[in-house]
C-alpha cells in the first residue's frame, strides 16, 4: 500500500505542540489528531475523555465492535525540556537536520504516535475495511504514572482487544517484558531535643538512615531476568534535620524499586513493613508513615503466542533483528495489561537511550520502518 500521509511531517507537527509535564496540554495534540481523522467520521468511533482543563485522552475505534482486535497505545505528554539553552535547536522547532528530527518528544514518543496514526489513516484513505476492531489509544499524563491509561483501563472503551502494541522507543526491536515500579516515601516523626541531650529526643534522621540500610539489606535479592536484567532498589532522597546541635524530629526517605515479573509487590511491601517494625522497636515513640507514590507490577508476554511470532516476522521482513528483548522503563502497558491480561509488545522508532535527554532526536528511517511494521500488524485485522 502506498503511503498517503507524510509521517515525518506529522511527527514535526506533534513536536511543535508543547505537551511537556507538568501541564501536559494534551488537548491541543488531540485536536490535531481529530482534524486528521475528520474526513473519516463515518468509519470511526471517537471518544475523548476529559481529565481536566486542557488534559484529555482519546480512543478511536476503526472497524466493527466485535470480539478481538488490536489496540495501539501511545502517550501524548513528554517530560519537561530542562535547560532550554543547552539544546542545539529549539526543543519545539522539530528541526530536521539531514536524516534526523530533533525535539522534546521526538523519540518518547511522538515518533511512535505519528507512525501508528499514519498507518491507520492510510488504511482509511485506501478504503480498506477492518473485520476486527483497531483501537488507537492516545493517553494523557503517562510520564506522571500512566494517569490517562488508568482511566481507559477501567472503562469499557477497549472492548476485548486481543493484543496490545505500545509504540515506545525500542529501535524497532520487539520487547515483551518491562520492569515493575514501586516508588515509596517514608515520613518519620520523632522528638526534637537539644543536641547535648540526645537521650531526651527521638532522632528521626538516624532512624531514617537505619531504615534505609535495613530495607536495602532485607529486600535486595539477587534476582535476574533473562530480558530485564537485575532487580534494583535505590534510596534516592533522604531529608531531615535543622542544624548541628538539634536532635531532629523529622525525616523523609524516597525509594525507587524496579521489580521483575516473578516478584509480587504485596510480598515486598510486607517485607518492608517488617523492616519498619524492627526500626520502631529501636526508637520507642517514633512514628513512620509509608506513602506509596506509584505501584505498577512488572509485565511479561508469552513469547510463544501467535501475535508475538507474527510481529517478529514483520520485523524480520524490514531487515531488522527479531530477537525479543525487555525494557527497564515503565509504559502504559503497566496500567492496561493487569486489567486486560492480553499479549503485548513494545516496539517503536528511535533509541530508548534518547528518551528524556537533551537534544532528543529520532532518525527518519527508523520512523518509516516502524510505520511499515505497524501497517503489517494492522493488516491482520482486514
Q: Give residues in contact with Zn ion (CB under 5 A).
A: 108-109, 168
Q: Supply the minimum distance, in Å, between the C-beta of residue 113 and Zn ion.
A: 10
Residue (13 or 352) nearer to Zn ion, CB: 352
Residue 127: φ, ψ to 5°: 75, 20
Q: What's the rounded Cα separation, in Å, for the pair 202 and 283?
A: 7
Residue (108 or 122) nearer to Zn ion, CB: 108
Residue 110 gets the label, from left (phi > 0), alpha (psi -120 to 50) or beta, of: alpha
Which residue number places its CB atom closest to Zn ion?
108
Residue (13 or 168) nearer to Zn ion, CB: 168
Q: Supply the minimum distance, in Å, between the C-beta of residue 107 and Zn ion.
A: 9
Q: Supply the minimum distance, in Å, between the C-beta of residue 108 and Zn ion.
A: 4
Residue (73 or 381) nearer to Zn ion, CB: 73
Residue (109 or 275) nearer to Zn ion, CB: 109
Among residues 153, 123, 112, which one has the least CA distance to residue 63? Answer: 123
Q: Supply the minimum distance, in Å, between the C-beta of residue 77 and Zn ion.
A: 9
Residue (59 or 355) nearer to Zn ion, CB: 355
Q: Supply the minimum distance, in Å, between the C-beta of residue 193 and Zn ion.
A: 47
Most distant pair of Cα atoms in the chain: their distance: 82
Q: Supply the minimum distance, in Å, between the C-beta of residue 265 and Zn ion.
A: 22
Q: Supply the minimum distance, in Å, between the C-beta of residue 166 and Zn ion.
A: 9
Q: What's the rounded Cα separation, in Å, for the pair 42 and 59?
A: 15
Residue (62 or 334) nearer to Zn ion, CB: 334
Q: What's the rounded Cα separation, in Å, for the pair 332 and 335?
A: 5
Q: Supply the minimum distance, in Å, between the C-beta of residue 355 and Zn ion.
A: 6
Residue (73 or 207) nearer to Zn ion, CB: 73
Amino acid at each position: 500500500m502506498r503511503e498517503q500521509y507524510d509521517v515525518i511531517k506529522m511527527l514535526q507537527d506533534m513536536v511543535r505542540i508543547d505537551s511537556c509535564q507538568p501541564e501536559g496540554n494534551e488537548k491541543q495534540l488531540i485536536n490535531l489528531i481529530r482534524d486528521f481523522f475528520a474526513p473519516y467520521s463515518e468509519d470511526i468511533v471517537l471518544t475523548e475523555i476529559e481529565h481536566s482543563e486542557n488534559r484529555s485522552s482519546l480512543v478511536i475505534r476503526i472497524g466493527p465492535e466485535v470480539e478481538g482486535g488490536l489496540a495501539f497505545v501511545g502517550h501524548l505528554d513528554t517530560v519537561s525540556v530542562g535547560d532550554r539553552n543547552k539544546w542545539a535547536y529549539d526543543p519545539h522547532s522539530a528541526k530536521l537536520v539531514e536524516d534526523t528530527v530533533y525535539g522534546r518528544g521526538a523519540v518518547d514518543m511522538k515518533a511512535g504516535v505519528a507512525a501508528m496514526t499514519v498507518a491507520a489513516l492510510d488504511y482509511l484513505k485506501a478504503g480498506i475495511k477492518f473485520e476486527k476492531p483497531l483501537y488507537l489509544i492516545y493517553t494523557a499524563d503517562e510520564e506522571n504514572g500512566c494517569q490517562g491509561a488508568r482511566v481507559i483501563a477501567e472503562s469499557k472503551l477497549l472492548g476485548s482487544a486481543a493484543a496490545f502494541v505500545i509504540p515506545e522507543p525500542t529501535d524497532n526491536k520487539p520487547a515483551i517484558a518491562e520492569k515493575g515500579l514501586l516508588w515509596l516515601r517514608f515520613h518519620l516523626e520523632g522528638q526534637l531535643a537539644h543536641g547535648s541531650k540526645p537521650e531526651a529526643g527521638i532522632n528521626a534522621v538516624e532512624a531514617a538512615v537505619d531504615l534505609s540500610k535495613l530495607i536495602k539489606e532485607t529486600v535486595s535479592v539477587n534476582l535476574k531476568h533473562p530480558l530485564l536484567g537485575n532487580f534494583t532498589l535505590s534510596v534516592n532522597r533522604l531529608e531531615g534535620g535543622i542544624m548541628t546541635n538539634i536532635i531532629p524530629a523529622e525525616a523523609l526517605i524516597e525509594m525507587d524499586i524496579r521489580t521483575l515479573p516473578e516478584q509480587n509487590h504485596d510480598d515486598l511491601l510486607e517485607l518492608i513493613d517488617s523492616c519498619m517494625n524492627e526500626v520502631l522497636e529501636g526508637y520507642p515513640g517514633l512514628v513512620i508513615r509509608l506513602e506509596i507514590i506509584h505501584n505498577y507490577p512488572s509485565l511479561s508476554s508469552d513469547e510463544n503466542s501467535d501475535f508475538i511470532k507474527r510481529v517478529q516476522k514483520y520485523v524480520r521482513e524490514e531487515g531488522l533483528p527479531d530477537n525479543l528483548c525487555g525494557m527497564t522503563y515503565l509504559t502504559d502497558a503497566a496500567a492496561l495489561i493487569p486489567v486486560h491480561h492480553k499479549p503485548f509488545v513494545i516496539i517503536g522508532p528511535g533509541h530508548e537511550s534518547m528518551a528524556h535527554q537533551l537534544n532528543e532526536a529520532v532518525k527518519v528511517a527508523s520512523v518509516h520502518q516502524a510505520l511499515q511494521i505497524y501497517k503489517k500488524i494492522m493488516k491482520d485485522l482486514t
